[in-house]
Amino acid sequence: GRYRLLRMNQRAGGARPPRMLRLDVKSLPLDSGISGPLQQAIRQTLEAGQQVLVFLNRRGFAPTLLCHDCGWLSECPRCDARMTVHQRSGVLRCHHCGYDERLPHQCPQCNHVDLRPVGAGTERAEERLKVLFPDYPILRVDRDSTARKDAMHNLFSTIQRGQPSILVGTQMLAKGHHFPRVTLVAILDADDGLFSGDFRASERMAQLIVQVAGRAGRAEEPGKVIIQTHLADHPLLVQLTEQGYFAFAEQALDERRAAGLPPYSHLALLRAEAHKPGQAEGFLDEACAAAERLVAEQRLPGIELLGPVPAPMERRAGRFRAQLLIQANTRAPLHRLISAWLLVLEQLPSGRQVRWSLDVDPVDLY
């Protein structure tokens, strides 16, 4: 066949695979996202002369800023998203479009001054870890801390010296790095991938956990991975931590087979965006009608049109976004439809008012 499955059954240098543990944080107090049992595990690792990697795939100090008096939230004026607090640089920044503004000293809605960061990012975790473990270096590795020239090289040089320390970082730390003294990996929040509306979110979560876990115990000392979660009994998470990625993949594939999702069906996603509300959906309405005509005329079996609907983030960088999903039982009818459909789409007058793209086998539905 065209594809071949290759399994890596051994780690480089004969290192043992790390042990994965789910830490149920339901009802546990979290100090900037860090539970008491995790703090204890970090302390034991540092006192043993080893290094710790704390993973949180969220940059900044906190995901949003809240007014305790009126409930105002720091929302981006150009996106349907909240701006992240960057305490050190003193700005609110949207991680979707890049818009930023100075951190306000009072609420722009009610003028009260009780503004509170909500949630935790790498910057906040770094600050709290410095308080909890003042005798050890805390090194943050994310896009913000490595923006300056040579910053990444200097950070990794410090890590490679091997002294007991804590690395705090995002996906930048997840793969491609060899930290022989890291024996504990702490994943602060594994739950995002279990709540998403995108059916591939749990797959991406599992891949990320496996990649981050691969940083632990790469030399003589065995590694351990502690995953903080509110869903410790979630079947996919149980399979991943107790039986490994391939057992997780088999269960995830069983769920997709039952739901008729890829790879047991085939998708195409028509995306559109425009400056004015309604323009993108208007174009997609015409596109959907054209596709339905082509399906009927060519008698294409097993094709379903879903939408159009607003995109999960409807407004981004000042543009309004919508999408139309095409699902097919087999690939050949889908490709026949797309070949004829593209010719029609290019002639639609409404298509000149929008920016559109057609994504076959979309990796995500956003």
DSSP class per residue in 174-200: TSS---TTEEEEEES---HHHH-SSTT
| Mean pLDDT, range 94-104, rounded to an integer | 90
The whole-number average pLDDT for the span 99-116 is 91
Looking at residue 223, its pLDDT comes to 84
Check whether residue 129 and residue 200 sit in a common domain: yes
Asked whether residue 107 is assigned to any structural domain, the reply reads no
How sure is the predictor about 12, in pLDDT bands with cuts at 50, 70 and 90? low
Do 17 and 165 belong to one domain? yes
Same domain flag for 288 and 247: no
**Same domain? 247 vs 326:** no
pLDDT of residue 66: 85
Query: pLDDT tens for residues 156-209?
Result: 777 778 788 898 888 777 666 677 788 899 998 888 777 777 888 889 889 888
Q: Show the tokens assigned to 152.
A: 């990444």
| pLDDT tens per residue, range 246-276 | 899 999 999 999 999 999 999 999 999 999 9
Amino acid, single-letter form, for residue 216:
A
Distance CA 97, CA 318 (A): 9
Binned at pLDDT 50, 70 and 90, residue 110 comes out as very high
In which domain, by residue range, is 251 found?
12-60+120-258
Whether 124 is in a domain gets the answer: yes
What pLDDT does 217 receive?
64
Q: How many domains does the chain have?
A: 2
Instruction: Give the residue among 165, 95, 101 at the shortest CA–CA distance from 134.
Output: 165
| 242 shares a domain with 145 | yes
Kindly report the average pLDDT of the chain as a whole number: 87
**193/252 Cα distance (integer angstroms):** 13
Give this prediction's pTM. Answer: 0.81
Same domain, 222 and 147: yes
Give the residue, 306 or 366, on which the prediction is more confident.
Answer: 306
- Decide which of 202, 223, 258 is a domain's last residue: 258
DSSP string, 293-357: HHHHHHT-TTEEEEEEEEEEEEEETTEEEEEEEEEESSHHHHHHHHHHHHHHHTT-GGGGGSEEE
Pick from 228, 258, 288: which residue ends a domain?
258
Per the domain annotation, does 148 fall within a domain?
A: yes
Q: Look up residue 111 and give its DSSP letter.
A: -
Q: What is the per-residue pLDDT for 140?
A: 84
Q: Does any domain span residue 139?
A: yes
Does any domain span residue 245? yes
Residues 161 and 36 in one domain: yes
